[in-house]
Amino acid sequence: MTTDTSKLRQLGEHSPLPASPDEAELERVENPHADSDYCTRFTCPEFTSLCPVTGQPDFAHLVIDYVPGKWLIESKSLKLYLASFRNHGAFHEDCTVAIGKRLAELLEPKFIRIGGYWYPRGGMPIDVFWQRGTCPDNVWLPAQDVAPYRGRG
């Protein structure tokens, strides 16, 4: 089975950074192995957004795991979507959960989870976890293995 990419608007084209997550266009492609259960992982170790109160940058390490159904996320559109948060003011919980929900709505996966491992703000790291669905028993779901923040410990 081949995936028709002719309807993708960003792949292979110059695509400017979207001004906000709401303006970002996430694209999907057909899963050529929809008859098999497997896990796909995206890691974004340099995610940034803005504190909605101070306007200062916040940094996180995001790990997104999903078991696709009919659809896969097109990775360039995902990169542009995640980068669009650089000028977006929102709390850690809002950013992490909003990303998970938007991907779940678009992809309709069998299972999806996102771990947002945020660096300290005000001396306190905030980690946010969200998931939808149950991972099928026959799928290897690796641990996210992002070390908790230890400071100087």
Catalytic residue numbers, as ranges: 51, 58
DSSP H helical segments within 70-149, as ranges? 75-83, 92-107
Is the C-alpha dihedral spanning 20, 106, 100, 8 positive or negative?
Answer: negative
* Range 36-61 burial, b when 16+ CB lie within 10 A, else e: ebebbebebeebbbbeeeeeeebebb
Q: Which of 4, 53, 7 is nearest to 30 (CA)?
A: 4
Degrees (nearest 5) of the Cα angle 105, 61, 99?
Answer: 15
Residue 65 neighbours by CB under 8 Å, 6+ apart: 39, 40, 41, 111, 112, 113, 114, 141, 142, 144
